[in-house]
Chains A and B, each alone.
Chain A
Amino acid sequence: MITQVPNPILEVHDLTVSYDQQPVLWNVDLSLPAGQLIGILGPNGAGKSTLIKSIMGLIPPTSGYIKIFNKALQEVRTRISYVPQRESVDWNFPASVLDVVVMGTYGKLGLFRRPGKKEVQIAQEALEQVGMTAFVTRQISELSGGQQQRVFIARALAQQADLYLMDEPFAGVDMATETAIFQLLQDMARTGKTVLVVHHDIHSAMNFFEWVIMLNLHLVASGPKDQVMTEELLRKTYGGKLNLLTQVTDLIRKQDFNPLKS
């Protein structure tokens, strides 16, 4: 169940990635439409982060290529934004919330140029969007996990890109914040931005994503949510082990009932 689209914003062609000759992604071939909120689902170790990192050029592919806006990555870097996993950095780094968010503007600034008033303005707007205005001068070591995550999202917003790649932006974030951020991402998609999110929770995936990619070393599915969020494909993605999960999903679908919230 892989839907290819004409004029894709992102085209991944026959991508294979391996660590130490051990393939972690096999023959992934997909194309994605512009202006949508897209989820990447899959079990642990399915290669979700690897896919995002190879799109960003952080991991060299063994074979295959990637085209973004129909161009090579190098030509369009400033139009792509990236949110790494929160644990990938040391939050004891001596910087304030504003310092980190201003870093989002560095890509467009170029070498040697320093951020000025305009960049600070952009950063402050980004912080407002994620509801972190009250924490502008706070040291990043004094933030909670969810707040750190929002700072990372604000930094990505400050990049003012057209394509956003987010690696598990909801890890350690409470339900209310998750919903608020999802609504922000939906608004972004509505204004023509494309947002690609590595995600874990099947239930919220069902509610918020318009397009879903399912990955388990191979590409299981890529297409509009309604077509790919089926029990068969979920089972194929997560394997027999997660029977329970698919049952829950089915239940949710049939009865519009959410055991996770009640």
Chain B
Amino acid sequence: MTFDSNAFLIIFTGALIAISCGFLGVFLLLRKMSMTGDAISHAVLPGIVIGFFVSGSQRSLEVILGAGLLGILSTLMIDALRKKAKVQLDASIGITFTLLFAIGIILINLFAYKVDLDQECVLYGEIAYLPIDLWITSSGLNLGPRITWLAGVNFFLILGFTYFLFKELSITSFDEQFSSAIGIPSKGINLALMSMVSYTTVSSFESVGAILVVALLVVPPSTAYLWTKSLIPLLRLTATLGILIAILGYYLAYWIDSSIAGMMVAVAGAFFFGSALIKGNWPLGLRGTSKSSPAFDS
């Protein structure tokens, strides 16, 4: 076991990303929209490619804007398919994100000769390269790893978002009709949440990739939900899990010399299955020691 500044930076950044995703994931879970997070993380691809093409760099504002717009577009599309065309929610999610993702792949191939971007780089990030990817200002000042800055800004944005809109987020998650009736803009809140998910996906795709970010949106909140039935403890436990996942993920990956992001998600999965074993409603012989609680949507 080693602990140096690089290890600290990777764990720190991983924890920031895991907590940001976890906070958003809690509200997605409560709205039964976890798969919408999945859809968004894939649907942002064409936005990333277009932003990249326009600006010529994957670190530009255009990329974030493009991805954000596509994220919102995909939520609107899912909603429209469901409400206007009467397609089932799961089917409309499946149709929307695969279509947008396919357009993204076509665009990458079309522009491939011009830009340095490929599917691999979007789908699988690599957090281990973080300490060598430094943000150096034009005057030559070294400000530290760029991705850590990105994750930090993202983290404080999500923290502010959940803090200031906590009341609105919780009431629209619980009872959308009632919140519309008393004048809380539930559609606006929903779009804001979806934009946050898009933004988080983009700012995390370089480090953990577009696929593993989905796991961080879904798994820690679902694990925490097995243990608590109140909202604030749910957010706290999700954050704690995020930190644990980053630490254990890093050292286990270090130990067997493998992907850190992959190991983080594997650890998250292990936490989930452990919790499900203890809290789940198993037949007597398989049951853990604690009292069982009702499943999520029973």
Query: Which residues of A line the B interface, CB within 8 A?
Result: 53, 56-58, 77-78, 80-82, 84, 88-90, 92-96, 99-100, 103-104, 106-107, 109, 111-115, 139, 141, 155, 159
Whether A82 contacts B178 in the complex (CB less than 8 A), given A92-B294, A93-B173, A141-B229, comes out as yes
Please give the distance in Å from B183's CB to the nearest CB on chain A: 4
A95→B294 CA distance, assembly (Å): 15
Of the listed residues B175, B179, B228, the one surrounded by the most CB atoms of chain A closer than 10 A to its CB is: B175
A109→B179 CA distance, assembly (Å): 12
Whether A112 contacts B294 in the complex (CB less than 8 A), given A84-B175, A84-B177, A106-B182, comes out as no
Q: A109–B294 contact, CB under 8 A?
A: no
Please give the distance in Å from B146's CB to the nearest CB on chain A: 32
Q: Give the nearest-CB partner of A52 in chain B.
A: B181
B-side interface mostly: helix
Q: B174–A95 contact, CB under 8 A?
A: yes
Q: A139–B230 contact, CB under 8 A?
A: yes
Q: B296–A92 contact, CB under 8 A?
A: yes
Q: Which residues on the A side are within 8 Å of B171 (C-beta)?
A: 103, 106
A108→B228 CA distance, assembly (Å): 30
Whether A57 contacts B166 in the complex (CB less than 8 A), given A139-B229, A141-B229, A141-B294, comes out as no
With an 8 A cutoff between CB atoms, is B113 at the interface?
no
Q: Give the nearest-CB partner of A85 in chain B.
A: B177
Q: Which residues on the A side are within 8 Å of B175 (C-beta)?
A: 84, 88-89, 103
Whether A106 contacts B179 in the complex (CB less than 8 A), given A92-B297, A95-B174, A114-B166, comes out as yes
A109→B167 CA distance, assembly (Å): 10
Q: Give the nearest-CB partner of A161 in chain B.
A: B182
A82→B184 CA distance, assembly (Å): 13
Contact partner of B182 (CB less than 8 A), chosen from A53, A82, A99, A139, is: A82
Q: Which residues on the A side are within 8 Å of B230 (C-beta)?
A: 94-96, 139
Q: Which residues on the A side are within 8 Å of B168 (C-beta)?
A: 106, 111
Please give the distance in Å from A123's CB to the nearest CB on chain B: 13
With an 8 A cutoff between CB atoms, is B58 at the interface?
no
Q: Give the nearest-CB partner of A155 in chain B.
A: B178
Q: Give the nearest-CB partner of A80 in chain B.
A: B181
Q: Give the nearest-CB partner of A55 in chain B.
A: B181
Whether A107 contacts B174 in the complex (CB less than 8 A), given A94-B230, A141-B294, comes out as no
A78→B178 CA distance, assembly (Å): 12
Q: Which residues on the B side are within 8 Å of A113 (C-beta)?
A: 167
Q: A94–B297 contact, CB under 8 A?
A: no
Please give the distance in Å from B96's CB to the nearest CB on chain A: 22
Given contact pairs A90-B297, A94-B30, A96-B230, a sample of 6 additional A-B residue pairs in the complex whose CB atoms are under 8 Å apart:
A77-B183, A82-B181, A84-B177, A92-B296, A94-B229, A94-B231
Contact partner of A107 (CB less than 8 A), chosen from B166, B184, B229, is: B184
Contact partner of B174 (CB less than 8 A), chosen from A80, A103, A139, is: A103
Whether A115 contacts B167 in the complex (CB less than 8 A), given A77-B183, A92-B297, A106-B184, comes out as yes
Q: Which residues on the A side are within 8 Å of B294 (C-beta)?
A: 92, 141
Contact partner of A57 (CB less than 8 A), chosen from B32, B165, B181, is: B181
User: What 7 A-B pairs are tightest by C-beta distance, nearest first?
Assistant: A107-B182, A82-B181, A77-B183, A56-B181, A94-B229, A89-B175, A93-B174
Q: B231–A99 contact, CB under 8 A?
A: yes
